[in-house]
A and B are shown apart, each in its own frame.
Chain A
Amino acid sequence: MVTVENLTKSYSEGKVKAITNLTFRVNEGEVFGMIGPDGAGKTTLFRILTTLLLPDSGNAQVAGFDIQKQYKNIRESVGYMPGKFSLYQDLTVEENLSFFATVFGTTIEQNYALIKDIYSQIEPFRKRKAGQLSGGMKQKLALSCALIHRPKVLFLDEPTTGVDAVSRKEFWEMLRRLKSQGITILVSTPYMDEASLCDRIALIQNGSILSINTPQAVTSAFGEKLFGIKSEMMYTLQQDLRSSSVVKSCNAFGEFYHLTLKDTSDDASSALLRSLKEKGHQSLEFEEITPKIEDCFIKLMSEGSN
């Protein structure tokens, strides 16, 4: 459904490289996640694929159309929801929706079935101006507007940024339902925990793809044992761990540090724990954990920079 070949784009006459040599495919009916921190190039990629920007080099097809030569066809067949809320704030919910329906040459009634799930939640507020909606409702309205013409491919640029945890969960459920309607979805997010909800993900960093695979395959490719550790003195624990000769890497995740060790035998780890206790660390918690996307991302990132 989406084919990207060697796509490169830079700003300020080549000084700032936004994306470099991206190549990937998105299959029909897939939820494809672009996972990466701010500034990784996700928005640039989406803007190129939605024909808002021209690439410096490389090629891409969306829904079977070339992004440069057939941009008009693409504009008719994709839905796009930018990262920033971009509807008319002084128009009501209903006015916004019917305006975008007309722009795409359709009506609300015609495609009501597709957006019913989402729109019915904000329908009680249809006379309210879009600018006065809460964050979660704005997002639902924006999604309804992006879907009103039944697009073949849906581009969602950081749809869950700045949205509360409950709304985020609801939003992903809505995406699953849209997928079942046969819509291909490209979604970008800086939240690693959302990656597992995608069919396939691309980890992207500094404009390059680190890895493309299913979330399970990405985590199982971690390839070594991962441990979580916690004590009462977290700051000195970090310094002690980083100076230790057996510790390969140590990164903070919430209230734990995630460790990889050069020697993963039980002897080596109990020796590490003993030495930490000698340095005065009380009530140490230490256990093996299964790696998450974020662990993989950090590992891939540090491998890439070495």
Chain B
Amino acid sequence: MKQLLSFIKKEFYHVFRDRKTLLMLFGLPIAQIILFGFALTNEIKNAKIVVVDYAKDEASRQIADKVDASTYFDIDKYLSGHEEIEEAFRSGKIKMALIFPDHFYSDLLHTNKAQVQVIADASDLNTATTLTNYISNIITDYQSGLNKGTTIPYRIVPEIRMLYNPQLKGEHTFIPGMMAMIMMIICVMMTAISIVREKELGTMEILLVSPFKPILVILSKFVPYLLISLMNVTSILLLSKFFLNLPVQGSIVLLYAISFIFIITSLCLGLLISIKSESQQTAMFISLMATLLPTLLLSGFMFPIENMPLPLQIISNIVPSKWFYVIVKSIMIKGSGFQTIWKETLILCGMALFLLIVSLRSFKIRLA
């Protein structure tokens, strides 16, 4: 115990005496959040939607079939009432709901005008706007087919509602994505460098010729970066609340608990990289490849995963930030509780455990 404390104390000295790196560690997330805030438009394929058909008439069925037949949408299921929509959204699989009111076709025939409601999950803003545009096009298309040979045009008016993010704020998806990215970069890179540095400076050589336990070194490397990362989570959340006006909808405690697990997973990944690489440059390069690129490309943060080729979709499952991104999005924006995210949380825990065991096993007790 005394040894562990002494190791931890030493790590804190390393971290807090390196002022430039420390400034970067705290400055990076703040700068990132403030500087960026852009949205990207993307094409989406096979988005899962639900349909609530109160009308159950010819026109509503034709429109629903047309929607289902398009490459953009897949009708997941038909719901019996709109009160079930909320639940479908919370499950996370559903991107949009299409609602036909009673007497849809007869309204259209008699008044030449009918309404259809479109509800989209705007916590993922890019997807939501793109999807509502697609559905409007499909409806207009159906409408123009109907109008052939008629003098008085029929009009179907889609009434669009954006769920969870009515103001269409891009920061909503941006914040969880940034959190995932920043924590990955800081945790993985910093731990990756810190053990290799001991190898490079030769201090590992002295440590090895002593009765130290590898687990002590590993644990002591974790503590300072865990603390810094939790402080970063706080600063991101504060910025998002007071600077971007985006408070956390769900439980803050849950969000911190998940962040804690994700940080541990990242630290374990960094550790493994550190143990496997021989120089600080290699460690830095590998950790950039292992964190920045997958987090940007494969977490669903910038590009929707459902749109990727199947192999990439499968690969995205081993990216820890993907799972973290999904969880934070549900907690921050939808206010979901633990029962909707337990699966993702379990996956993160599994990854952390796996990485920790592999690291401990590959920790070299000799120089070569």
Contact A78 B209 (CB under 8 A): yes
Contact B367 A52 (CB under 8 A): yes
Interface check B243, CB cutoff 8 A: no
Q: Are B211 and A105 in contact (CB under 8 A)?
A: yes
Closest to B212 in A: A103
The interface stretch among A84-92, A215-223, A250-258 is A84-92
Contacting pair B210 A53 (CB below 8 A): no
| A91-B13, A95-B13, A103-B6 given; A47·B367 CB < 8 A | yes
A145 interface residue (CB < 8 Å to B) = yes
- A103 contacts B13, CB within 8 Å? no
Which residues does chain A contribute within 8 Å of B208, judged by CB atoms?
51-52, 75
B261 at the interface (CB under 8 A from A): no
B368 CB to nearest chain A CB (Å):
6
Q: Are B367 and A53 in contact (CB under 8 A)?
A: yes
Contact yes or no, A88 B14, CB < 8 A: yes
Of the candidates B13, B203, B210, the one whose C-beta lies within 8 Å of that of A87 is B203
Contact residue range for chain A?
A: 20 to 34
Q: Give B211-235 as 1s and 0s: 1 = Cβ < 8 Å from A's Cβ atoms.
A: 1100000000000000000000000
Asked if A88 and B10 sit within 8 Å, CB to CB, the answer is yes
The answer to whether B206 touches A87, judged by C-beta atoms less than 8 angstroms apart, is yes
When chains A and B are docked, how far (Å) is the Cα of A116 from the Cα of B3?
Answer: 24
Mark contacts of B15-41 with chain A using CB atoms, 8 A cut-off: 1 yes-contact digit, 0 otherwise: 001100000000000000000000000
Contact pick for A145, options B14, B201, B206, CB 8 Å: B206
B6 touches A84 (CB 8 A): no
Beta-carbon contact of A50 and B211 below 8 Å: no
How many Å lie between the Cα of A97 and that of B207 in the bound state? 13
> Which A residues are CB-close (under 8 A) to B13?
88, 90-91, 95
Shortest Cβ gap from B229 to chain A (Å) = 21
Q: Which of A86, A91, A104, A105 contacts B205 (CB 8 A)?
A: A86
Whether the pair A102, B3 counts as a contact (CB closer than 8 A) is: yes
Q: Would A88 and B210 count as touching, CB distance under 8 A?
A: no
Contact status A82-B202, CB under 8 Å: yes
Docked CA distance A104–B2 (Å): 11
Least Cβ distance of B135 to chain A in Å?
A: 60
| Chain B, residue nearest A92 (CB) | B13
Bound form: Cα–Cα A84–B201 in Å? 9
In the bound complex, residues from chain B placing their C-beta under 8 Å from that of A85 are 202
B207–A103 CB distance below 8 A: yes
Docked CA distance A103–B10 (Å): 11
Whether B366 sits at the interface, judged by CB under 8 Å, is yes
A229 to chain B, nearest CB (A): 44
Provide the residues of chain B in CB contact with A174, threshold 8 Å. Answer: none
CB–CB A80/B209 < 8 A: yes
Is the Cβ of B205 less than 8 Å from the Cβ of A75?
no
Total interface residues in chain B, CB < 8 Å: 24
Determine the chain A residues whose CB is within 8 A of the CB of B18 once the complex forms.
90
- Compute how far the CA of A50 lies from the CA of B17 in the bound complex, rounded to whole angstroms: 32
The interface bits of chain A over 72-86 (1 if a CB of B lies within 8 angstroms of the residue's CB, else 0) are 100110101010111
Given A54-B366, A102-B2, A75–B10 Cβ distance below 8 Å?
Answer: no
Contacting pair B17 A90 (CB below 8 A): yes
| Contact indicator per residue, chain B 35-78, by CB within 8 Å of chain A (1) or not (0) | 00000000000000000000000000000000000000000000
A297 at interface by CB-CB < 8 Å: no
Q: How near does chain B come to A171, taking the closest CB pair, in angstroms? A: 19
Which of chain B's residues have a CB closer than 8 A to the CB of A100?
206, 210
Least Cβ–Cβ distance between A43 and chain B, in angstroms: 11
Question: A2 → chain B, closest Cβ, in Å?
Answer: 15
When distances are taken between beta carbons in the complex, the residues of chain A under 8 Å from B209 are: 50-52, 75, 78, 80
Q: Is the CB of A53 within 8 A of B366?
A: yes
Q: Are A82 and B6 in contact (CB under 8 A)?
A: no
- B365 to chain A: which residues have CB within 8 Å? 71
Report yes or no: B368 in contact with A53, Cβ–Cβ below 8 A. yes
- Residues of B within 8 Å of A52, CB to CB, are 205, 208-209, 366-367
A89 with B201: CB separation less than 8 A: yes
Say yes or no for A112: interface residue by CB 8 A criterion. no
Q: How far is the CB of B25 from chain A (nearest CB, A)?
A: 16
Asked whether, in the complex, the Cβ of A75 is within 8 Å of the Cβ of B210, the reply is yes
The answer to whether B202 and A86 have CB atoms under 8 Å apart is: yes
**Does A172 lie at the interface of the complex (its beta carbon under 8 Å from any beta carbon of B)?**
no
Task: Evaluate contact between A90 and B14: CB separation under 8 angstroms.
Answer: yes
Please indicate the chain A residues that have their CB under 8 angstroms from the CB of B14 in the complex.
Answer: 88, 90
Give Cα A145–Cα B10 distance, bound, in whole angstroms.
15
The verdict on A99 contacting chain B, using a C-beta distance below 8 Å, is: yes
- In the assembled complex, the Cα of A88 lies from the Cα of B357 at a distance in Å of 28
What residues of chain B lie closer than 8 Å to A90, measured between beta carbons? 13-14, 17-18
Query: Are B366 and A105 neighbours in the complex by a CB distance under 8 Å?
Result: no
Residue-wise, chain A 38-74 has the 8 Å CB interface mask toward B (1 for contact) of 0000000001001111100000000000000001100
Contact B367 A91, beta carbon cutoff 8 Å? no
> Which residues of chain A are near B368, meaning CB under 8 Å?
53
Contact with A along B347-368 (1 / 0, CB 8 A): 0000000000000000001111
A72–B205 Cα distance when bound, in Å, is: 15
Cα distance A87–B206 in the bound complex, in angstroms: 8
- Bound Cα distance from A54 to B208, whole angstroms: 13
- Kindly list chain A residues whose C-beta atoms are within 8 Å of the C-beta of B210: 75-76, 100, 103-104
Produce 1/0 per residue, A95-111, CB < 8 A to B.
10011101111000000
Please indicate which of the listed interface residues B9, B13, B209, B367 has the most CB atoms of chain A within 10 Å of its own CB: B209
A47-B367, A90-B13, A103-B211 provided; 8 other pairs, C-beta below 8 A?
A50-B209, A52-B366, A53-B368, A78-B209, A82-B202, A88-B14, A89-B201, A100-B206
Q: Which residues of A contact B (CB under 8 A)?
A: 47, 50-54, 71-72, 75-76, 78, 80, 82, 84-91, 95, 98-100, 102-105, 145-146
List, sorted by A's number, 11 A–B pairs whose CB atoms are closer than 8 Å.
A52-B367, A53-B366, A75-B211, A82-B205, A89-B201, A90-B18, A91-B10, A102-B6, A103-B207, A105-B3, A146-B206
Closest A-B pairs by Cβ, 7 of them: A86-B202, A102-B6, A80-B209, A52-B367, A76-B211, A50-B209, A90-B17
